[in-house]
Amino acid sequence: MPWEYTLYIPHDPRAVRICRHTLRDILRTHHLPALIEPAELLASELLGNAIRHTKGPAALKLRQAGSSFRLGAWDTDPAPPTTAPQGDEAGRGLHLVQAYADDWGWFQVNGSAGKYVWCDLGTRPER
């Protein structure tokens, strides 16, 4: 049975930790313990970028449909996400997303209402 959760958070770095704990509880409740570690890492990176690079609120969205699990972060900045040069400690978040997620992307929300950066886990055979 498909399910979806959205966690709206204030512009506060402490909210990332709260989202990780909530994400862990959701995945345990839905019997997906193998996704906890990679999903926490990816959610931390996506939400960390949302908090670090914008001034408004953010949201974490989780969705399971079939064998696909998608998580994404919405923020108030409509500008595309950018990756830092390889080896740059600040800005490595999207490199981690590219390395750990099966797929990822982004889109603007209603023109100037921000952006949504998403990634999928569980869509490929075991690595």
The string of pLDDT tens digits covering residues 39-65 is: 999 999 999 999 998 999 999 999 998
Q: Is residue 36 part of a domain?
A: yes
User: Torsion angle, CA of 16/21/23/28, rounded to 10 degrees?
Assistant: 170
Residues paired with residue 59 on neighbouring β-strands, in sequence order: 8, 74
CATH classification of the domain holding 111: 3.30.565.10
Q: Is residue 58 part of a domain?
A: yes
Query: Whole-angstrom Cα distance, residue 93 to residue 80?
Result: 14
Q: Is residue 126 part of a domain?
A: no
State pTM to two decimals: 0.87
Mean pLDDT check: name the lowest of 17-21, 37-41, 61-65, 83-87: 83-87
